[in-house]
Amino acid sequence: MQLFRSHVLVCGGTGCTSSNSEAIMTELNEKLVKNQLDAEVKVVQTGCFGLCEEGPIMVIYPEGTMYCRVDVKDVPEIVEEHLLKGRLVTRLLEASSQVQEDEQDIEKSSFFKKQLRVALRNCGRINPEEIDEYIAFDGYKALTKALTEMSPGEVIQTIKDSGLRGRGGGGFPTGTKWDFAAQQINDEKYVCCNADEGDPGAFMDRSVLEGDPHSVIEAMTIAGYAIGATHGFVYVRAEYPIAVHRLQIAIDQAREYGLLGDNILDTGFKFDLEIRLGAGAFVCGEETALMTSIEGKRGEPRVRPPFPAVKGLWQKPTILNNVETFANIPVILLKGADWFASMGTERSKGTKVFAVGGKINNTGLVEIPMGTTLREVVYEIGGGIPGGKQFKAAQTGGPSGGCIPASHIDTPIDYESLIELGAMMGSGGLIVMDEDTCMVDIAKFFLEFTVDESCGKCTPCRLGTRRMKDILEKITKGKGVMSDIDELETLARDIKASSLCALGQTAPNPVLSTLHYFRDEYEAHIRDKKCPAGSCKALLAYEIIEENCKSCGLCAKNCPVNAISGNKKEKIPFVIDPTVCVKCGVCFEKCPFEAIKK
């Protein structure tokens, strides 16, 4: 085996690939050859490091130096300075955490310090396209242990004891689900993986598939052994080409190594996997709809019970878990249920991955022990809000979830506390909003989403969500009346009570939650015809503050409709003619003296 003195890890996740990380690797390999370092230094394409904001990311080991926002033209300097002469390229070090030169190890940076990576343990550490690297990090050891040392019942008991709950949204205890399916007597059972990550703003499942696909394959095989299934399906969004590609490579490699197939590890256990692509329907993230879609039909949900563990895919007992849930399984079997249960809160064990985005400095993927407070996530790991703005709320659970306002920022995050606040864990999208975000507009945004994605099978969801959206649209346009709020609440209650599946049952949540915490904003839109966040265009009126105006004329020069007049030479302050103004906001952006208010 060839030994290298240094390893350069380059992120090959979707975020970094979008900002050219592949070209960086090509250049790096060329420059290594040119400097005759190619026998000493190895370039590895890894999965996501999580700090997507600062991508493309490169980490050089053994030092653990992380370089951020690397450009192709930075590569020669990195090779010549760092790899050849051993000197840091300080201008590329992570800027936001103000790390000292002697503390450039990525583990010590504020972004990583508070994190605990269990599900993401291999993301950013191994090359996802090399099964040997996964095996070197204890990969397939849990499967070996399960098949050779444990009975299916013992596997299920371990998962039950660990307290692992579904990471896809509902938080159902995983071990219990497996147990239901195991108890069914049937010669045909299925294991399905839900990788139809539709919540806009959540991308942890994609990152696991891109960065550590073997962990999911291993876990699904273990699940197959536990419940007595021989076949599995991974249902992945077609919009995730890199994830699909790497997962297919991983499945092929596992087959080649005898880790999938007819006689796994010579134990006589048989299990195989197939990828099925989604086709852009959010409702297919719902378990019964997902299975209908795998069957090749319109992905409409059906009534439960019977639950999939009894009658699922092709009417056979089926378990469905999401990607992050599966990624936890191998470590639980290896390190034990007690180890897993030692992390987290009383009823929510382990860690949770969040995709943190929106108005935050460190957009990216973070994995934290359950019970970490929102403040720690936003201000310590996330680096705070850009531009010194005020934190207003965080939205979790996407179109099914709700908001956590600033007054609850110290709440420890777990399944129960989020439900109590009227939000939910969901799949783990966490969108941060600042003072410029209008909460009525956000509620409208999510309702537009559900209207688009409602499959149309049941009336409360198909028509009810549309009525709610229409009312919200009316309010954001300044045409709302006070009774609209009551109507929203009545509709919300009825839709929640009577919809067929979770999509409809949770669709009113974003409205209820914003109404609960930000009712005054709704009232301001309706009663005062004002948008306090200054976001709803129809309710804006741009005005020049006379005292602040220096008569520079920049606003008038940039106004596309000549709505601004004044006189630069005679120093007459400028004014906006509201009858001509189209509220494009250019003057507001261009004014150097903050003399324009909205």
Partner 1 sequence: MNANARGCMEKDERTHLVTDIVAKHKNSKGALIPILHEVQELYGYLPVEAQETIAKEMNVPISEVFGVISFYSFFSLNPKGKHKISICMGTACYVKGSGPILDKLKETLAIGVGETTEDGEFTLEDCRCLGACGLAPVLTINGKVFGRLTKDDIPEIIEGCKTEGGSVL
Neighbours of 585 (CB within 10 A): 14
User: Which residue number, 345 or 396, has a Cβ lying nearer to partner 1?
Assistant: 396
Can you tell me which of 314, 338, 528, 548 binds partner 1, judged by CB under 8 A? 314
User: Which residue number, 314 or 593, has a Cβ lying nearer to partner 1?
Assistant: 314
The distance of closest approach from Cβ of residue 521 to partner 1 in the complex, given in angstroms and rounded to an integer, is 16
User: Which residue number, 14 or 45, has a Cβ lying nearer to partner 1?
Assistant: 14
Can you tell me which of 139, 371, 398, 428 binds partner 1, judged by CB under 8 A? 398
User: Which residue number, 329 or 440, has a Cβ lying nearer to partner 1?
Assistant: 440
User: Which residue number, 97 or 345, has a Cβ lying nearer to partner 1?
Assistant: 97
The footprint of partner 1 on this chain (CB under 8 A) covers a number of residues equal to: 52
User: Which residue number, 371 or 510, has a Cβ lying nearer to partner 1?
Assistant: 510
Query: d(Cα 532, Cα 598) in Å, to the nearest integer?
Result: 10
46 binds partner 1 (CB under 8 A): no
The distance of closest approach from Cβ of residue 51 to partner 1 in the complex, given in angstroms and rounded to an integer, is 8
Query: d(Cα 126, Cα 45) in Å, to the nearest integer?
Result: 8
Can you tell me which of 21, 162, 345, 363 binds partner 1, judged by CB under 8 A? 363
Cis bond leading into 241, ω under 30°? Answer: no
Length of the chain: 598
The bridge status of strand 58-61 relative to strand 41-46 is unpaired
Neighbours of 582 (CB within 10 A): 12
Region binding partner 1 by CB under 8 A among candidate stretches 13-21, 164-172, 261-269, 326-334 = 13-21
User: Which residue number, 88 or 586, has a Cβ lying nearer to partner 1?
Assistant: 586
Neighbours of 503 (CB within 10 A): 25
Region binding partner 1 by CB under 8 A among candidate stretches 136-144, 171-179, 350-358, 523-531 = 350-358
Region binding partner 1 by CB under 8 A among candidate stretches 11-19, 157-165, 258-266, 334-342 = 11-19
Region binding partner 1 by CB under 8 A among candidate stretches 75-83, 143-151, 196-204, 548-556 = 196-204
User: Which residue number, 60 or 283, has a Cβ lying nearer to partner 1?
Assistant: 283
Query: d(Cα 500, Cα 279) in Å, to the nearest integer?
Result: 22
User: Which residue number, 433 or 526, has a Cβ lying nearer to partner 1?
Assistant: 433
Region binding partner 1 by CB under 8 A among candidate stretches 48-56, 74-82, 256-264, 408-416 = 48-56
For residues 226 and 156, the answer to whether their CB atoms sit within 8 Å is yes
Residue 406, C-beta contacts closer than 8 angstroms, at least 6 positions apart: 390, 391, 392, 393
**In the stretch 219-248, what mask flags binding to partner 1 with x, by CB under 8 A?**
-------------------xxx--------
The distance of closest approach from Cβ of residue 40 to partner 1 in the complex, given in angstroms and rounded to an integer, is 32
The bridge status of strand 543-544 relative to strand 596-597 is antiparallel
Neighbours of 77 (CB within 10 A): 13
For residue 271, the 8-state DSSP code is E
Scan residues 415-434 and list those touching partner 1 (CB under 8 A): 429, 431, 433
The bridge status of strand 6-11 relative to strand 58-61 is antiparallel
449 binds partner 1 (CB under 8 A): yes
- In 3-state terms, what secondary structure has residue 306? coil
Query: d(Cα 552, Cα 549) in Å, to the nearest integer?
Result: 8
User: Which residue number, 26 or 176, has a Cβ lying nearer to partner 1?
Assistant: 26
Query: d(Cα 321, Cα 230) in Å, to the nearest integer?
Result: 16
Region binding partner 1 by CB under 8 A among candidate stretches 50-58, 103-111, 137-145, 459-467 = 50-58
User: Which residue number, 298 or 527, has a Cβ lying nearer to partner 1?
Assistant: 298
Scan residues 262-301 and list those touching partner 1 (CB under 8 A): 276-282, 293-300
The distance of closest approach from Cβ of residue 201 to partner 1 in the complex, given in angstroms and rounded to an integer, is 4
The distance of closest approach from Cβ of residue 300 to partner 1 in the complex, given in angstroms and rounded to an integer, is 8
- In 3-state terms, what secondary structure has residue 321? strand
156 binds partner 1 (CB under 8 A): no
- In 3-state terms, what secondary structure has residue 405? strand
Run of H or E residues at 177: helix 174-183
**In the stretch 479-518, what mask flags binding to partner 1 with x, by CB under 8 A?**
----------------------------------------
Question: Degrees (nearest 5) of the Cα angle 166, 167, 173?
Answer: 15
Look at residues 96, 110, 49, 21 and name the one whose alpha carbon lies nearest to residue 365: 49
Can you tell me which of 64, 170, 201, 336 binds partner 1, judged by CB under 8 A? 201
Can you tell me which of 357, 382, 402, 460 binds partner 1, judged by CB under 8 A? 357
The distance of closest approach from Cβ of residue 120 to partner 1 in the complex, given in angstroms and rounded to an integer, is 15
Question: Degrees (nearest 5) of the Cα angle 89, 94, 97?
Answer: 135
Scan residues 54-113 and list those touching partner 1 (CB under 8 A): 54-55
User: Which residue number, 84 or 584, has a Cβ lying nearer to partner 1?
Assistant: 584
Query: d(Cα 82, Cα 318) in Å, to the nearest integer?
Result: 52
For residues 401 and 356, the answer to whether their CB atoms sit within 8 Å is no
Scan residues 14-33 and list those touching partner 1 (CB under 8 A): 14-15, 18-19
Structural tokens at position 263: 């006689």
The distance of closest approach from Cβ of residue 395 to partner 1 in the complex, given in angstroms and rounded to an integer, is 7
Run of H or E residues at 113: helix 110-113
437 binds partner 1 (CB under 8 A): yes
576 binds partner 1 (CB under 8 A): no
Neighbours of 2 (CB within 10 A): 6
Find how far residue 268's CA is from the centre of its chain.
38
Crossing angle of helices 213-227 and 141-149, rounded to 10°: 10
User: Which residue number, 209 or 595, has a Cβ lying nearer to partner 1?
Assistant: 209
- In 3-state terms, what secondary structure has residue 173? strand
Query: d(Cα 241, Cα 203) in Å, to the nearest integer?
Result: 13
Catalog residues that contact partner 1 under the rule CB under 8 A.
14-15, 18-19, 51-55, 198-203, 206-207, 238-240, 276-282, 293-300, 314, 355, 357-359, 363-364, 395, 398, 429, 431, 433, 437, 442, 445, 449, 455
